[in-house]
Amino acid sequence: MTDTPPEQLTYAQAVEELNQIIGELDDGLVDVDALTVRFQRAIDIMEDLDGRIRRARAKVDELAPRLEAISRAGVEGPQPPPAPVGPTEYGDEPF
């Protein structure tokens, strides 16, 4: 168990620890004296992850109109190079 506050963990670390706690609880590996501590830790991590997801969703919602405006304006990304022009007459093609 780590004493690192959930908000100081990376998203991947938090998910990994949460999965570990859930596995311990499911398997009955948690001593009854530590049960409430582990359960509270799982809740704290879940609340933090939920907040991160909500903030990310809000940011995406904020940025989406900008992407739509760029698309509507016809801004194009890099274009592929034109296809090479080959021979036009029969028999001019290399073998």
Is 78 within a domain? no
- In this predicted model, what pLDDT tens digit does every residue of 58-87 receive, in sequence order? 999 999 999 888 888 875 555 666 666 665
Q: Tell which residue, 74, 7, 84, has the closest CA to residue 47.
A: 7
Residue range of the domain that includes 48? 8-72
Is 34 within a domain? yes
- In this predicted model, what pLDDT tens digit does every residue of 31-50 receive, in sequence order? 888 999 999 999 999 999 99
Q: Tell which residue, 37, 35, 49, 53, has the closest CA to residue 2.
A: 37
Is 20 within a domain? yes
- Count of domains for the chain: 1
DSSP character for 80? P
Is 77 within a domain? no
Is 50 within a domain? yes
Is 91 within a domain? no
pTM for the whole thing?
Answer: 0.67
| C-alpha to C-alpha distance for 48 and 55, rounded to whole angstroms | 11
Q: Where are the alpha helices (DSSP H) in the chain?
A: 11-27, 32-72
